[in-house]
C-alpha cells in the first residue's frame, strides 16, 4: 500500500488548471495547421491563422487562450493500492481548483445554486469523476469546459430501430443547429450506449482523446471518419463565417446498453478543447 498525501494532489490540480487554460494541446495545434492548409475560404484561412496566433501568444505569456476559462471537470483514476492521507481527496481537488483559478487569474464562472445564481468566487466546486483501477498510482486529468459550446450539447434517447443512420443523423443535426454558437471549428465528443447519464459521460471522455485518433472498433472508426467528412460539408466554417473547416475532430466512445434503448450524447467543444494530465 502506497500513501499519497492530499497536499500533493492539490498542488498538481492547481498546476493543471493553469496550464490547461493557457497552453493549447499539440494535437489541436497540428489540426489547426492542417485545416488552414486545406481551407478553401480566404476568410476561413485568416481566422484559423488568428486562432493559431492567439494560442501561441497565450502559451508564451501564460495567459488564458479564451476568456471563458470554463468549469473544471476532473477525471481521477485511483490505484487500488493507494492510501490517501492527510485529508479528503474531494476537498483537496477543489482546493487545487480554487488555488489554480485564483493564482492563475482565471475567470471564476461557477455559481453555487443553478437558480439563485450567486458566484462562488473561486470556480468551485469542480465536477469530479472517480475510477478505481489497478496499481499504486493516481492519474489526474483536468478538462476545463466553457459553456458557449457546452450549451450546444445534446442527449438523444433514440429507439433501437433508429439504428446507425439515426445516430448519424442526430449527431449531424446537433452540429448543424449549433452553427456559429460554439465558436467553430469544433471538436465533437460522441457517447453511444449505457443509459441516460453514462452516454453523456462517454461523450465528455471522447473529447479527451487526441484529434486524429480513432476507435479500435472498425465500425466506429468508419462512423468517426464519415461524420467528420459530412460535418465539414455543412459549410458553417471557422467562427461560422463559411468554409470547409467546421469540425477539427470527432471521437466516439461506446458502452453496452439495454435491449430497449439507444442512448446518444453529443458533447460539443470549441477548438480550445483544454485538458492536461499527470500521474502521481
92-146, pLDDT tens digit by residue? 999 999 999 999 999 999 999 999 999 999 999 999 999 999 999 999 999 999 9
Q: What is the mean pLDDT of the chain?
A: 97
204 and 136 assigned to the same domain: no
Does residue 39 belong to any structural domain of this protein? no
Q: What is the pLDDT of residues 158-178, one digit of tens each?
A: 999 999 999 999 999 999 999
Does residue 131 belong to any structural domain of this protein? yes
Q: Residue 94's domain spans which residues?
A: 2-20+65-145
- Residues in Cβ contact with 232 at an 8 Å cutoff, skipping those fewer than 6 apart: 244, 245, 246, 247
pTM across the whole model: 0.95
155 and 138 assigned to the same domain: no
Does residue 127 belong to any structural domain of this protein? yes
155 and 135 assigned to the same domain: no
Give the whole-angstrom CA distance, residue 273 versus residue 254.
Answer: 20
134 and 158 assigned to the same domain: no
16 and 132 assigned to the same domain: yes
**According to the model, what pLDDT value does residue 118 have?**
98
Weakly modelled stretches of the chain, pLDDT under 70? none
254 and 220 assigned to the same domain: yes
> How many domains is the chain partitioned into structurally?
2
Does residue 242 belong to any structural domain of this protein? yes
101 and 235 assigned to the same domain: no
Amino acid at each position: 500500500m502506497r500513501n499519497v498525501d492530499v497536499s500533493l494532489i492539490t498542488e498538481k490540480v492547481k498546476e493543471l488548471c493553469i496550464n490547461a487554460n493557457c497552453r493549447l494541446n499539440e494535437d489541436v495545434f497540428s489540426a489547426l495547421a492542417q485545416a488552414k492548409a486545406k481551407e478553401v475560404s480566404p476568410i476561413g484561412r485568416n481566422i484559423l491563422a488568428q486562432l493559431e496566433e492567439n494560442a501561441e501568444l497565450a502559451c508564451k505569456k501564460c495567459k488564458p487562450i479564451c476568456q471563458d476559462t470554463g468549469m473544471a471537470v476532473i477525471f481521477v483514476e485511483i490505484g487500488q493500492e493507494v492510501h490517501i492521507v492527510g485529508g479528503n481527496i474531494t476537498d483537496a481537488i477543489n482546493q487545487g481548483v480554487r488555488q489554480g483559478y485564483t493564482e492563475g487569474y482565471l475567470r471564476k464562472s461557477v455559481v453555487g445554486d443553478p437558480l439563485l445564481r450567486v458566484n462562488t468566487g473561486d470556480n468551485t466546486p469542480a465536477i469530479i469523476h472517480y475510477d478505481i483501477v489497478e496499481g499504486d498510482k493516481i492519474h489526474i486529468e483536468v478538462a476545463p469546459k466553457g459553456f458557449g459550446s457546452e450549451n450546444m450539447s445534446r442527449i438523444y434517447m433514440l429507439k433501437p430501430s433508429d439504428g446507425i443512420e439515426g445516430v448519424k443523423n442526430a449527431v449531424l443535426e446537433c452540429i448543424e443547429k449549433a452553427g456559429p454558437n460554439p465558436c467553430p471549428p469544433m471538436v465533437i465528443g460522441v457517447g453511444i450506449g449505457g443509459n441516460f447519464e453514462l452516454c453523456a459521460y462517454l461523450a465528455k471522455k471522447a473529447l479527451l482523446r487526441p484529434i486524429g485518433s480513432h476507435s479500435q472498433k472498425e465500425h466506429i472508426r468508419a462512423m468517426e471518419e464519415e461524420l467528420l467528412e459530412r460535418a465539414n460539408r455543412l459549410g458553417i466554417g471557422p467562427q461560422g463565417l463559411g468554409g470547409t473547416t467546421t469540425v477539427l475532430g470527432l471521437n466516439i466512445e461506446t458502452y453496452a446498453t439495454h435491449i430497449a434503448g439507444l442512448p446518444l450524447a453529443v458533447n460539443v467543444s470549441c477548438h480550445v478543447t483544454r485538458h492536461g494530465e499527470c500521474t502521481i
